[in-house]
Structure 1
Amino acid sequence: MPASFKNLLIIDDEASMRHMLRLVLEQQGYRVTEASNGQIGLELLQKELFDVILCDIRMPDMDGLQFLRHPKIINLTTTIIMMSAYGSIETALNCMKLGAYDYISKPFKPDEVLLTLKKAEERLQLQQENVFLKNQLSQQVTTFDVRQIIFASNSMNRILETVRTVATSNTSVLISGETGTGKELIAKALHSESGRTGPFLAINCSAISPGLLESELFGHVKGAFTGAEHEKQGLFSVARGGTLFLDEIAELPLDLQPKLLRVLQEAEIRKVGATKSEGIDTRVVAATGTDLEQEIDKNLFRKDLYYRLAVVDINLPPLRQRPEDIRVLAYHFIDQISFRDGRAAPRLTEQALEKLQTYSWPGNIRELRNFIEKALIFCRNQVLELPPLPTERRLTQRPEEGDFSLKEASQRIEREYITKVLAHTLGNRTQAAKLLEISLRSLLYKMKEFDIR
């Protein structure tokens, strides 16, 4: 989620200044609380958490600098912006040293305050996304055995033979296939079989905002942009000697695509704000659920980058094209989930297996696992009884008396289709709008109309 400030505290002894700021900020959707000096501000902080504090320096009883030095403020994570009509560069530096984020000289225009808040929000967003990324990286599996991939089909056997063949080379690999087919597992298998000693790191190109993705991939130097208080190593550097998995590569912004192409061609990166490049030894594996050749025709993806990524192209067939895998996967998920929940694994009848193998599984392996988990939640016997599959639910539904409205039926179908496409794109609305061939604005309108979250 994007970072945003909603709850603000204004500390200023001038009532007219507090009133002016309240009017400006409340028009922008902020919730504002006022305090006439630092002591009252401290008392309010004991009762409520604030996202940001706008604090004057010259005030009676407790001024702004005393406020900043107070023990209750020193360890506070709230963003503090100082204000003063008697400021100087030295005063501003003192405020920064005491933990303030920024300093505004009075008199100021309302837009100056809003711009400072926007800059602070961007910094907070960067910090939050860095924390999110670090948490994701800490959960990455660095050791993986290709035998963990469950299959029985000849098509998957041929794919794993390809994996073993190309794993030891340094060439780029593009893994394509529908959502839920196991593209990241194949990427991990490539890394596992490669003999590389560096880490396996994964990033979803649609999960990070375009403005921050470049920094996450390539890193940045101190002062490269607002909030860049320290030099940062990008994922290409962190994954040195290992593998970087770029999921949803079709979502890579156009302005970043030439930079990725240079990495693949020259084996070097340049951090944001840096003047020199540095060499890397990181193997790139990319994945997509989108037809990149169609994206090229729409001028949304570079042809030269596509050819550089797809030196080896591994296409994962959907589960409906390898029904023999459904049996072994179903048994595997029953055992896995039952062991996790500390219960005996129930038995699956041949009739139930046939039922599973006749369904098309548009969500592929991920949908199958979720379906098995749902069945196990309600299972109280030694034989696993399967709930109705989605197609069965649609076939058994009958319109109620008077429920023959063509408009309502069309809306139900439209809502179901939009929901399915959003699931296919893992919630990426921009990509969903492209697949639906409607504008993003139209999609957002329909999501609101149909209460799709």
Structure 2
Amino acid sequence: MDKEKILVIDDDEGLLHLLKMRLTSMGFAVTTCTTGQEAFAEARKGVFDLAITDLRLKGEDGLMVTEELLRIHPGLPVIILTAHGSIPNAVEAMQRGATGYLTKPFDDKELKASLEKALSQQRMSREIQRLKLLVKELYGMENVVARSPQMQRLFQQIAQVADTDATICLLGETGTGKEVVARVVHANSRRAQGPFIALNCAAIPETLFESELFGHVKGAFTNAHAAKKGLFQSANGGTLFLDEIGEMPLSMQVKLLRAVQDREVKEVGADHTTKVDVRIIVATNRDLGEAVKSGTFRSDLYYRVQVVPLVIPPLRERRDDIPVLAHHFLKQSVSRTNKNVTGFTPSAMQKLGMYHWPGNVRELENAIEKAVIMSRQDLITPDLLPSITAVTEAPLKPLTEAKEDFERNYLKSVLQLTNGNISRAAQFAGRYRADFYKMLRKYGLHPSTTKSRIEGEVEEVAEEFEAGEEIIQS
């Protein structure tokens, strides 16, 4: 992390030198000036995190210096140095924009406390701005095109977790863009300059899994004529993305668990382990909770990789994104094919919006590319979308019924995602527990897997809650 920069203005060169020594020892980058004019020149040349200025400078007014610094850098924290008899002037300085003041003489403890207080707000503002910019970047990223509320919520979640090292589990159907989201997380993390290594667990034969992930030493097995670095080592300092983790053989899951837990790997044939600094992101289109119950996925690994679950909604649940994605893919296809296609007819766009998209974003991209290739005019027409026409959905349901279907399926997904933990499920859905219980009761849902108990348990929980409410109100 870059050092925070402090601008110090004082006409007492002895005090100026002492302040620079103290601040440098605290880890700050310090620029010193003996006059306000020098300070203004420095402020115009670069950005500072904080300024310290004496209230009384030779031939200059410290209040005016403060005001000018704030004109150059609005929001800059400014600490005033003052003598005992000038405290009223220091208070006036704060009324005119200064952050705080220090009364001379002061010791290191007082100086540090004043700096921390002044910089804490600046640091928080900077972090909030960073998150806002991150979300803005995510909305506008060339390979992530979305405007639906569902995707905006997802991007906000990504903005919160991207710059941590927390293990992320991306949940979504095939073709929803899980690898794209994983790359977005990596690109906006502190590991962005490190490698992003992706592995599709469904594409690796079981016999090669261990060598592929952890590497091997020369002579470890037949045909191991040279040592090979594994993907964990290749991703050192960056991110390792394990797609379709639900397809990983059980024999490998225990070895992966050890690597995820300890961040160290053992090459095939080696007699020692190697430490790795890797952020893990996994993805699956399977219900890992059900896989645990059926015995095809280890429960201990499940809890290790489900630290931060992020759900990528299918395209049919975010139809607002279809026109934006369609135009995005059209632009890409036109660039690749050099065709003169500029858009879609209204009826063609209607076809795109009505289709169920079982293959999600990937299927939409392929459909647009095919339409561009087959087009003989400047607009895509419905006849260029034969697969979409042939597989048109059933007639649209009434809005109320469609909304109820969505809510029911959403609640099921949240319950599966949180393993039936009502508090976490309510928090994830952005609802109070009471509201969440009412929604479960409405649709006859419960974290219980025994269907015959669902109605009774929901009734019992709801009654207990309502009884509690009556006690509180009384």
Normalised by the size of structure 2, how large is the TM-score?
A: 0.52
Which string of whole-angstrom CA distances, capped at 9 and with x for unpartnered residues, describes residues 305-328 of structure 1? 111101000111100000000000
Other-structure match for 1:283: 279
1:211 corresponds to which of 199, 207, 212: 207
**Higher mean C-alpha deviation, range 184-193 or range 350-359:** 350-359
C-alpha distance in structure 2 between counterparts of 1:372 and 1:342, whole Å:
14
CA contact (8 A) 2:154 2:310 kept: yes
Aligned to 1:202: 198
For residues 315 and 223 of structure 1, what CA distance do their matches in structure 2 show?
43
SS in structure 2 at match of 1:314: strand
Asked whether the 8 Å contact 1:173–1:312 carries over to 2, the reply is yes
Partner of 1:272: 268
Match of 1:221 among 209, 214, 217: 217
Pairing 1:172–2:161 present: no
Quick one: distance in 2 between partners of 1:159 and 1:259?
A: 31
* Counterpart for residue 393 of structure 1: 390
**Is the contact between residue 347 and residue 381 of structure 2 (CA under 8 Å) also seen in structure 1?**
no
Larger radius of gyration: 2
2:188 to 193, 209, 213: 193
Verify the 8 A CA contact 2:169 2:310 in the aligned structure 1.
yes
Matched residue, 1:315: 311
Which of these residues, 178, 183, 190, is aligned with residue 183 of structure 1?
178
Q: Are positions 1:365 and 2:361 aligned together?
A: yes
Q: Is the 8 A contact 1:349 1:383 kept in 2?
A: yes
Report the equivalent of 2:42: none
Q: Is the 8 A contact 1:346 1:381 kept in 2?
A: no
Identify if the C-alpha distance between structure 1 residues 178 and 389 changes in structure 2 by more than 3 Å, giving closer, same or farther: farther
1:321-400 → structure 2 map (5 Å cutoff): 321-386=317-382, 387-390=384-387, 392-393=389-390
Offset at residue 348 of structure 1 (A): 1.0
Q: Note closer, same or farther for the CA distance 1:372–1:391 as it changes in structure 2 (3 Å cut).
A: closer
Q: Is the partner of 2:198 in helix, strand or coil? A: strand
What do the CA deviations read for 1:416-438 (whole angstroms, capped 9, x no partner)?
Answer: xxxxxxxxxxxxxxxxxxxxxxx
Please show how residues 148-163 of structure 1 align to structure 2 within 5 Å: 148=142, 149-163=144-158
Contact 1:339 1:345 in 2 (8 A): no
Cα deviation for residue 162 of structure 1 reads 1.1
Give ranges in structure 1 of 5+ residues lacking alignment. 1-144, 396-453
Q: Measure the CA separation in 2 of the matches of 1:244 and 1:352.
A: 40
1:350 shift after superposition? 2.4
Structure 1 residues 275-333: Cα deviation after superposition (integer angstroms, max 9, x where no partner): 11111001110110111111111100011111110100011110000000000000111
**How many angstroms apart in 2 are the aligned matches of 1:345 and 1:376?**
7
Q: Quick check: which one's helix share is greater?
A: 2
Q: Judging changes above 3 Å, is the alpha-carbon distance between structure 1 residues 188 and 352 closer, same or farther for their aligned structure 2 residues? A: same
| Paired AA for residue 180 in structure 1 | G
**Which whole-Å CA distance do the structure 1 matches of 2:379 and 2:305 have between them?**
47
Task: Name the amino acid aligned to 1:296.
Answer: V
Any idea what the Cα deviations from partners look like across 1:365-391, whole Å, max 9, x if unmatched?
011111111111111112211334546
Give the Cα separation in 1 of the matches to 2:181 and 2:389: 32
Secondary structure in structure 2 of the residue aligned to 1:194: coil
- Report the 3-state secondary structure (helix = DSSP H, G, I; strand = E; otherwise coil) of the residue aligned with 2:170: strand
State the secondary structure of the residue aligned to 2:173.
Answer: coil
- How far 1:272 sits from its partner (Å)? 0.8
Counterpart residue number, 2:460:
none
CA distance in 2, matches of 1:224, 1:334: 50
Report the equivalent of 1:303.
Answer: 299
Partner Cα separation in structure 1 for residue 306 and residue 381 of structure 2: 43
- Structure with greater contact order relative to length (CA < 8 Å, sep ≥ 6): 1
Change (3 A) 1:394 1:361: closer
Aligned pair count reads 252
SS in 1 for 2:357: coil
Aligned to 2:58: none
Instruction: Confirm or deny: 8 A CA contact 2:351 2:389 kept in the other structure.
Output: no
Note closer, same or farther for the CA distance 1:312–1:226 as it changes in structure 2 (3 Å cut).
same
Q: Which residue of 1 aligns with 2:244?
A: 248
RMSD: 1.6
- Partner residue, 1:412: none
Residue 327 of structure 2 aligns to a residue in which SS? Answer: helix
Following superposition of structure 1 onto structure 2, how do residues 132-147 of structure 1 map, counting pairs within 5 Å?
146=138, 147=141
Q: CA deviation at 1:353?
A: 1.4
TM-score, normalised to structure 1's length? 0.54
Distance 1:238 1:217, change over 3 A: same
Q: CA deviation at 1:339?
A: 1.2
CA distance in 1, matches of 2:198, 2:169: 14
CA distance in 2, matches of 1:180, 1:388: 19
Partner Cα distance (1:391, 1:170) in 2: 41
Unaligned runs of 5+ in 2: 1-136, 393-474
* Distance in structure 2 (CA, Å) of the matches to 1:347 and 1:237: 46
| Structure 2 residue matching 1:256: 3-state secondary structure | helix
Alpha-carbon distance in structure 2 between the residues aligned to 1:185 and 1:368: 15
The aligned counterpart of 1:262 is 258
Task: Supply the AA of the counterpart residue of 1:162.
Answer: Q
